[in-house]
Amino acid sequence: MLPHKLIEQRLQHAVQAILPGSDVAAVLVRPCPDPKFGDYQTNALMSLAKARKMNPRQLAADVTAKLDLRDCCESVEVAGAGFLNFRLAPSAMVQSLQEAARGEHLFFEKTVRPRTVLVDFSSPNVAKPMHIGHIRSTILGDSITRMLRLLGHRVITDNHIGDWGTQFGKLLVGWKHHLDLPALQIEPIGEMDRLYKLVNAAGESDPAILEQSRQELVKLQRGDEENLKIWREMLALSQAQFDRIYQRLGVNFDKALGESFYNSRLQPLVRELCDKGIARESEGAIAVFFKDIPHLKANPALIQKSDGAFNYTTTDLATLAYRLETWLPAEIVYVTDARQQLHFQQIFAVFRRWHPEAKVNLTHVWFGSILGEDGKPFKTRSGETIKLADLLDEAEERAFKVVSEKNAELSEAQRREIARIVGIGAVKYADLMSNRQSDYVFSWDKLLALNGNTAPYLQYAYTRIRSIFRKSGLETTGGGTRNPRLALAATQEIALARHLLNFGLVLEAAVDEYRPNFLCNYLFELAGHFTSFYENCPVLKAESEMRANRLLLCELTARVLKQGFEVLGIETAEQM
What is the pLDDT tens value at each position of the chain, 576 positions in all?
Answer: 899 999 999 999 999 999 998 889 899 999 998 888 999 999 999 999 999 999 999 999 999 999 999 999 999 999 999 999 999 999 999 999 999 999 999 999 999 999 999 999 999 999 999 998 899 999 999 999 999 999 999 999 999 999 998 899 999 999 999 999 999 999 999 999 999 999 999 999 999 999 999 999 999 988 999 999 999 999 999 999 999 999 999 999 999 999 999 999 999 999 999 999 999 999 999 999 999 999 999 999 999 999 888 999 999 999 999 999 999 999 999 999 999 999 999 999 999 999 999 999 999 999 999 999 888 888 877 778 899 999 999 999 999 999 999 889 999 999 999 999 999 999 999 999 999 999 999 999 999 998 899 999 999 999 999 999 998 887 665 444 455 678 888 999 999 999 999 999 999 999 999 999 999 999 999 999 999 999 999 999 888 888 989 999 999 999 999 999 999 999 999 888
> In the prediction, which pLDDT does 575 show?
84
Q: Please report, as a single letter, which amino acid is at residue 85.
A: N
Residues for the chain: how many in total? 576
* Alpha-carbon dihedral sign for residues 367, 373, 374, 378: negative
Q: Which helix (H) or strand (E) holds 415?
A: helix 412-432
Euclidean distance between CA atoms 71 and 92, whole angstroms: 7
Q: For the chain, what are the domain ranges?
A: 3-88, 116-161+255-370, 167-249, 388-568
- In 250-311, where does DSSP find H-type helix? 263-275
Other CB atoms within 10 Å distance of the CB of residue 476: 17
Q: What single-letter amino acid sits at 365?
A: V
Q: Do domains 116-161+255-370 and 388-568 have the same CATH topology?
A: no
User: What is the rounded end-to-end Cα distance, in angstroms, of the chain?
Assistant: 37
What is the DSSP secondary structure assignment for residue 172, as one 8-state letter? Answer: H
Query: Over the range 107-124, which residues count as b (16 or more CB within 10 Å of their CB) and which as e?
Result: bbbeeeeeebbbbbbbbb
- Sheet with 301-304: strands ordered across: 280-282, 285-288, 301-304
Other CB atoms within 10 Å distance of the CB of residue 539? 19
Helix axes 455-472, 544-568, angle to 10 degrees: 140
Distance in angstroms (rounded) separating the CA atoms of residues 412 and 536:
36
What's the CA dihedral at 174, 178, 182, 185 to 10 degrees?
A: 0
Is residue 105 packed enough to be buried (19+ CB in 10 Å), middle (13-18) or exposed (0-12)? middle
Q: Name the class of domain 116-161+255-370.
A: alpha beta
Instruction: Please report how many Cα atoms fall inside a 13 Å half-sphere around the Cα of residue 476, on the Cβ side.
Output: 15
Q: What is the C-alpha to C-alpha distance for residues 390 and 428, in angstroms, rounded to an integer?
A: 15
Residue 38, classed as helix, strand or coil, is coil
How many CB atoms lie under 10 A from the CB of residue 392? Answer: 19
> What is the CATH code for 3-88?
3.30.1360.70
Dihedral of alpha carbons 305, 308, 311, 316, sign? positive
**pLDDT, position 384:** 82
Instruction: Give the C-alpha separation, 575 to 29, whole Å.
Output: 38
- What fold does the segment set 388-568 form as a domain? Isoleucyl-tRNA Synthetase; Domain 1 (1.10.730)
pLDDT at 477: 54
CA 278 and chain centroid, separation: 34
